[in-house]
Each structure stands twice: as structure tokens, then as C-alpha cells.
Structure 1
Amino acid sequence: MSSTPTSTGRTAGRPGAAGRGAGRVASLCWIAVLLDGFDLVVVPTTLSGLSAEWGLSAGGASALITVGLVGMMVGALTIGTLTDLLGRRKALITSVTAFSVLTLLCALAPNPFVFGLLRFLAGLGLGGCLPTAIAMVNEFSRGARGGRVTTTMMTGYHVGAVATAALGILVVEPLGWRWMYVIGALPALVLVPLMLRHLPESAAYLLSHGRRAEAEEVARRHGLTLEDPAAPVDPHAGEASTGGAAATLATLFRGGYLRNTLAIGVTSFMGLLLVYGLNNWLPGIMREAGYDLGAQLAFLTVLNVGAIVGLLVAGTVADRIGVRTAGVGWFAAAALFLALLSIRLPLAGIYLMVFLTGCFVFSAQVLVYALVSGNHPPQVRGTALGWSAGAGRVGAIVGPLLAGLLVGAGVAFPWGFYLFAVVGVLGAAALAVTRTAARRPA
């Protein structure tokens, strides 16, 4: 069997073995992202049980949802940076372990204050999963373009959300809300040992930290081409690998990175405002529009099914026409279909509009992650992805609050959809001003 040369001049291992190794990395990262999808809906799924046991007010219930999102924002910003300093493997395994242990402790919480603290701490760990997993899966993509790699991995997010919602129907009523958090912690019993055994350190990270011999060995075993750690844009980027967390983060706010950093921050804010605003309040908006309860819950399911289909399509399109171009188009299409949701249609027609909205809204934000991953060199990639996810988590907090205010005021239909459409347009405009750069082999 022939061997494949890497850019270092050494030969890769057997292609089949390399493919299996890269596939294991992608599978482990997919499962880690699935846990993010679990967290998206686990508190709303268990909220009735929490409220009944502790007598929560509407404000208290909202606080329990929000505190986890705040933890994710802080976790994305901090762990995203640490992954560039300490390594992808260590950061991802630590994040999964911490999130799982703290989720299990949520099942034992004696009151809402302890529960909220545990949710915040679990959010810190979970917030680090997404940027680290995206960096890993792109760096082990074996030359594949980043759009399809990123969007395929992110299907795990919506599979996790749909599965958790379905699991809640089977578990919460007969067994109680605490069992959802026990079940949510169980994947770590399998996932963490598998990561310890099969998840290698990123070759790109190793090379950017001067560990060339280790990087070449990982590249040989997984059929990779090493990336240039000094790649494009900012001549000071190399300082990030030696200057600590502050220097690594500061790199994004100077020189050639500043424009992209600000634009990506705005785009991610808009993108996750839409994702979390719709996932939390679409049933409420549709109730205001006069649809019955069964239809309201079906809309949420159709929205997330559309998200999975949209992710698979978006990655293929992005790899053909460019991630930025596809992202701008996806945000613009999301704005269009959000505006069309304000029109009263027959039930079949509104289901179609919700499906198409899901196709574009969720994958638009994922294309932002693909753009970030493909346009930053290894030594700041985790930090850039952490910034993107962290800025987006602010939007994730604002979206449900804003939609809730509109529902409370009785104006969410149609004005909520018009507002969301404007957010989509702003996301497209912000993404349009970003710059792209090609990766270079080492």
C-alpha cells in the first residue's frame, strides 16, 4: 500500500489507519458538542419540576436559565484562550469532565441557590467544549475544507437538543427532574476514558509551541499536513505562544486581526441571539399568533430538524463558494424567512417556513465558527474561537430576554419576527466586512 508524504518530508502511515484516527477525533468531538445541545434544553425541560419543588417565580426560573449561559460565556472566553496555551487535548478532556461532574451535582442540589451556582460552574466547563472541539476537528480534517467539517460536527448540538427534549418526556414526569441531570452526566463515564485513550494532541498546536518532533509524529499517524504557525495577518502573532493568556487574547485586538475580531464579535452576538431567542420563545410567539399547544411544540421540533438539514447543506455550499460568502447569504436568507413567519399561513405553509428558518438561522452561526477556524493560525485559533463563542453567548442571554419582553407585552407576533429579521440583516452586514486568508503548509 502506498504512503502519503506530509509537508515535513516524512511519510504518513497507512491511509486507512490515518482515516480511522481522524474519524475517532471527529467522533469524540461530535459527542462533546452533543453535550452542549443537552445543556441548551435541559433546564427548560426540567423547569416545571424545579418550579414545583422550590416555588420559583417567573424571574427565578429565568435566572436559572440565564446563569448557565453566563457561565458558558466566561468559559468560552477563558478556556478558549487556555487551549492555545495548554493544549487542545487537555482543555477538552478537562472541560467535559468538569461539566459532567457539576451536572451530576445539580441532581443533588438542595435549593435553587446551590443549583444556580452549580449551573454557572458547569457552564464554565461546557463553554470551553465548543471552541476547543471546533479547533480540534478542523486541525484533524486531513486537508478537507473547513465548512463541511465544522457544520457536520455541529449537527451533534441539535441532535443533543432534540434527544434531550424527547428524553424529558420519558423521564421528568415518572422519575422526577433530578434524573435528567444524572443521565446528562453519564456520557462522561464512557467519553472521558475514550478521550484519554484515543484523543491525540493537535499537531498544529504542538508545532506552534516548538514541539516539531511530536507534531511530525501526530501528522504521520493521522495523514496530516502541518500548518505554518506563523501564518498570515499579524506579525506579532507568534508572541501569543510565549506571552501568556493576556498576550494571546491581546493579539486578536491589534494589527491585522482587529477588524475581524470586532466584526466576528458582532456577527456571533447576532447569530446566537437568534438561536437562543427562537429556541426559547418560538412556542410562546406562536401561542400569541393563535396556534394550539400541539402545534407550538411541533414548531420547535421542526425548527431543530431544519437546523440539522441546514448544517449538512451549508457546509457543502461553503466549501464551494467560500465560507464568508455562504455565511453572508445564510444570514440574509435567515432574515427573509424570519420576516415571512409574520404572515399567517395554513398550517402546512407555516411548518415549511419554520423548517426553512431553522435551515438558515442555526447554520449561519456555525459558518461563523468555520470562518474563524480557517482564518487564524494555530497559536491563536482557540482564543479566536473562544472570543467568537463568548461574544455569541452574550447574544444568547439577550435573545431570550428580549423575546420574553415582547411576549409579555403582547406584541411578539408579528413584531418579534420583524426584530429577529433585522438582527439577521445586521449579522450579514457584520460578516461581510471580515477578511479571509488562506492557510499555508509548514
Structure 2
Amino acid sequence: MNVSDSVASRPPDIDHVWPRNARPSDELLLQGPPTISPRVIRVTSVVCFLAWVFSVYDFVLFGTLLPKIADEFGWSASYATAIATWVTAGTFIVSLAVGPLLDRYGRKPALIITTAGAALASGLTAGVVGALSLIGVRSLSGLGYSEEVVNGVYLNEMYGKEAKRGFRYSLVQSGWPVGALLASAFAAVLLPLVSWRWVFLIATFPAIAIVILGRRLFESPSFVALRRSRELRAEGREAEAATLAELYDLDVSRDDESGLRQLFEPDLRRHTVCLSGAWLLNWMGIQVFSVLGTTILTDGKGVSFSNALVILILANGAGFLGYLFHGWLGDRIGRRTTIMIGWTVGGLAMSAMLFGPDSAGFVITMYAIGLFFLLGPYAAMVFYMGESFPARVRGIGSNTAHVMGPLGAIAGSGVLTAVMAAGLPVTTAAFVAGALGIFISGVLMLGARNPEQ
């Protein structure tokens, strides 16, 4: 069939017309982007939410159970920390595969593979026999870590131009605190009864269920059209490919180039560099104030360990509300602006907490405000990445920035340790390694693209 000869008609209803596992015909594609029913949107959102919850569950469970793993193998605290650093490096390497996977094979397959990766990482961790096997197995958690990139790209295309799409996505992104809470709760309940190996093994079953549910989802219409336009170009049917790309608002101007190379072409170079730098610097702050929060509170602000745990629980509750707030705000003032405001305020709040009074009321208040504006903007950020890159590099572009997270975590720990080793107090070290990075990450977003202009 000659695509360009077809006449567009009423867009089809994806729920009833578009096939899940087979490719739509050219006639169906040329009717334009389909109408996606509210039921399909709800089901897709729930599956993506659960996929993120159990990917986070696996990701966080390793950190939670690392002391138990170290006890069984007889590792010192410093050796266990070194293992965790190597795991983070392996996570980074594995995460690199997700961007090309998204752009070449599709959003739905990427969702299934990343969630299956989280399940595989949990299951295989139950059988590790030492440091090398643990590093190798836990590196697979890079797939689960990158599941949020898949959600951001996939749901951005499924939600389309829906007015409240940012707030809807914030509900999906809130799977992070839910997954972290489940990991802590399951560990607390199961460890008195079974070994840590069983805790990991049990974690595989919910993720496998999500993989099965994911097979029932629809592929993103934008990716279906992108894939077909590529096939038409490969067949030498350039005019027909251009017609289809225009109908679905796809930029395929340099689709024959390497995806990574495209990210550093003049039209995307500054955006890629600024976005990647923002992720790296912000994750330095997350490492310092979220992952190592108890250390900062106890050694830097003189808070008791038990009180530090209470503060972390309350503050992370504020972080959950931050997801919803920033998702809502992004729909109204723009996601890039929301991220800039959130992270600059978060950096200032954490600085005030570090250098302000040591009173419990002040520390709790400023720490909660800091996490609210540190974690919350990620509800806008992950969705923003999906809309800030053209469809041809939407996956690899989002993932290139996203994989800077593990590197930022390593850098945050390294800078914190180096500044403290130089004899400076914990508060100063936390400012240099964390709060300053959070603030600068917000400023760097000024150089990123504004897709709403």
C-alpha cells in the first residue's frame, strides 16, 4: 500500500482497534494518533507504578540488608562499603543499555525487560557465594534502577497532551517511597523468621507478576509510528516516511545517525550536558542527605540515632508529598521552572539546616523542607526528560542523563569523605558534597531545553 495516498479519518480507539502484539496496518496508522481510552491510561499507569515500586524494592533492599550479608561473609564495614561502591559502578554500566533498548525495540519491551531485571537481580542475590558474585548479580539492578526512565518516556507518550499529565505521573513516581517502605517492612518482618537470602528470593515473585501484566499493555503509538517510519525509509520510501512522521509530530531529521552522537549535535548538546550535570550534582545531594542522612544528623547536628531515624521517617513523608506537589506545580508553571525552583530552594534549606541552630525543632523543619524540595522535583524531572528530547532519541537521551545518578552517588560519598579527612567538620563536608550540588543542579537547569516554548 502507498502510505501517502491514504486519507486520514477519525483517529481509532486504541482500546478496541489497535493490536497489542501485532503491528497496526498502514491504513490504521494513517488515521492519526489513536484515542487512548481512560481505562487503558489507568491500567498502564497502575502497571508502571507497580513496576517502579518493586524495582525500587529490590534496589533499596540491598542497602537495607548489606549489614546482614557482611555478617555472613565476615566482611568489615569498610570492605562492605567498598563492595557497595563496586555494585554502584556495575549498576551504572548495566543502566547504559536501557536507552538504546527504548529507542530501538520499544517502550513496552523496555518496561518488561527492566522489571524482569529487578526480579532476576533479587532471585540471583539469594544464591551469591562471595564478593565477586554479589557485585556481578547486583549490577543487574541497574535495569530496575532505570525502570523510572522507561516510565517517563512511555507515559509521556501515552498521556499525550492531557492537562493534568504531570500530576498523574507524580502518582506513578511516588512508587519510590512506597517501594523503599515495603523493602524496610519486609526486612523487619521476615528477618526474625528466615535468612536474608529468603528475603531476596521472596522479592522476585511480585516483580514476575508485573512482567506478566506488562505483556498486556499497548505499545506507545508514537513509537509504533517511529518504527514504521524507519522501516519505510529503509525501503527507500522517504516521502511516505515523512508523511507518517509529520502526522505523529516526530522529528526524524537525523534518525540514521547514532543516538549518542545526536545527543551532542548543536541542537541538543547544551541540553544533554546541562541535564546530565544536574543529575550528577543532585545525586551527590541525595547520597549525602538521604542515603547518609543518619550520619549527617548524628555526627553533624548532635542528634541521637533513634531521633535521627524518626526525623528521617518524618522527612521522607514530606518528600512523598513533595512528589505530588511538584507534579501538580509542573502542570501549571512548566516542569523545567518547577525543577529549578525546587532544587535551588532545597539547596538553601539544607544549607540552613547544616549551619543553623541544633535545636530539634529547627533541624526537623529544615530537613523536611530540604527533602521536600530535593526529592519532590523528580516527579517533574523524569516526565520532563521524556518531553524534552525528540522521539528519535527520547530513550537514550533520558537515560544518558539518568545514569549520572550512580556516578553522583559515588562522587557524593567520595567528596564527603575527602573533606572530612582534611579535618573539616561534618556540617562543612555535607555542605560541600551535598547542599552546594543541589543548589547548582537547579541553576544548571537554566541551560536545559524548555519544550513548552
Normalising by structure 1, we get a TM-score of: 0.85
RMSD (CA atoms): 2.6
Aligned match of 2:85: 66
Are positions 1:49 and 2:88 aligned together? no
Q: Distance in 2 between matches of 1:107 and 1:423?
A: 36
Q: Distance in 1 between matches of 2:336 and 2:394?
A: 17
Aligned match of 1:3: none
Aligned match of 1:308: 320
Q: Deviations over 1:288-315 (max 9, x none)?
A: 1321121121222223212110010001
- Name the CA shift for 1:390/1:17 in 2 (closer, same or farther; >3 Å): closer
Aligned match of 1:266: 277
Aligned match of 1:195: 214
Q: Deviations over 1:104-140 (max 9, x none)?
A: 11111122221121111x2242244221121111111
Structure 2: gaps spanning 5 or more residues:
1-7, 17-34, 232-245
Are positions 1:275 and 2:290 aligned together? no
Q: Distance in 2 between matches of 1:150 and 1:304?
A: 19
What does 1:132-151 align with in structure 2 at a 5 Å threshold?
A: 132-144=150-162, 146-151=165-170
Residue 226 of structure 1 deviates from its aligned partner by 7.2
Give the secondary-structure state (helix, strand or coil) at the position aligned to 2:228: coil
Q: Distance in 2 between matches of 1:367 and 1:8?
A: 35
Are positions 1:90 and 2:109 aligned together? yes
- Name the CA shift for 1:346/1:193 in 2 (closer, same or farther; >3 Å): same
Aligned match of 1:25: 44
Q: Counterpart amino acid of 2:250?
A: P
Aligned match of 2:439: 425
Aligned match of 1:317: 329
Q: Deviations over 1:336-387 (max 9, x none)?
A: 1101211234323322222211111112344332322112222211111111
- Name the CA shift for 1:412/1:296 in 2 (closer, same or farther; >3 Å): farther
Higher RCO, 1 vs 2 (CA within 8 Å, ≥6 residues apart):
1
Residue 431 of structure 1 deviates from its aligned partner by 0.4
Q: Distance in 1 between matches of 2:448 and 2:53?
A: 29
Q: Counterpart amino acid of 2:307?
A: A
Are positions 1:129 and 2:147 aligned together? yes
Deviates more, 1:161-170 or 1:312-321: 161-170
Give the secondary-structure state (helix, strand or coil) at the position aligned to 2:376: helix
How many positions carry a matched residue from both structures?
A: 410
Q: Distance in 2 between matches of 1:37 and 1:427?
A: 23
Are positions 1:332 and 2:344 aligned together? yes
Residue 93 of structure 1 deviates from its aligned partner by 0.7
Residue 75 of structure 1 deviates from its aligned partner by 3.1
CA contact (8 A) 1:323 1:367 kept: yes
Aligned match of 1:228: 249
Are positions 1:385 and 2:385 aligned together? no
Residue 425 of structure 1 deviates from its aligned partner by 1.9
Q: Distance in 1 between matches of 2:275 and 2:125?
A: 34
**254, 257, 262: which is aligned to 1:239?**
254
CA contact (8 A) 1:151 1:366 kept: yes
CA contact (8 A) 2:126 2:197 kept: yes
Q: Deviations over 1:25-82 (max 9, x none)?
A: 1111111221342244212211221121111123321133223322332233221122
Q: Counterpart amino acid of 1:175?
A: V
- Name the CA shift for 1:348/1:163 in 2 (closer, same or farther; >3 Å): farther
Q: Distance in 2 between matches of 1:160 and 1:299?
A: 19
Residue 271 of structure 1 deviates from its aligned partner by 1.7
Q: Deviations over 1:181-212 (max 9, x none)?
A: 1122121231111111x211111111112269
Residue 85 of structure 1 deviates from its aligned partner by 0.6
CA contact (8 A) 1:73 1:393 kept: yes
Give the secondary-structure state (helix, strand or coil) at the position aligned to 1:229: coil
Q: Distance in 2 between matches of 1:407 and 1:366?
A: 33
Aligned match of 1:248: 259
- Name the CA shift for 1:344/1:41 in 2 (closer, same or farther; >3 Å): farther
CA contact (8 A) 2:148 2:382 kept: no
Residue 173 of structure 1 deviates from its aligned partner by 3.9
Q: Distance in 2 between matches of 1:401 and 1:366?
A: 27
Give the secondary-structure state (helix, strand or coil) at the position aligned to 1:200: coil
Aligned match of 2:31: none
Normalising by structure 2, we get a TM-score of: 0.83
Q: Counterpart amino acid of 1:117?
A: G
CA contact (8 A) 1:162 1:304 kept: no
CA contact (8 A) 2:125 2:200 kept: yes
Q: Deviations over 1:241-284 (max 9, x none)?
A: x45xxx01111110211110011011111122222332221101
Give the secondary-structure state (helix, strand or coil) at the position aligned to 1:400: helix
Structure 1: gaps spanning 5 or more residues:
1-6, 214-224, 231-236
Residue 438 of structure 1 deviates from its aligned partner by 4.0
CA contact (8 A) 1:344 1:350 kept: yes
Q: Distance in 1 between matches of 2:414 and 2:191?
A: 25
Q: Distance in 2 between matches of 1:14 and 1:125?
A: 29
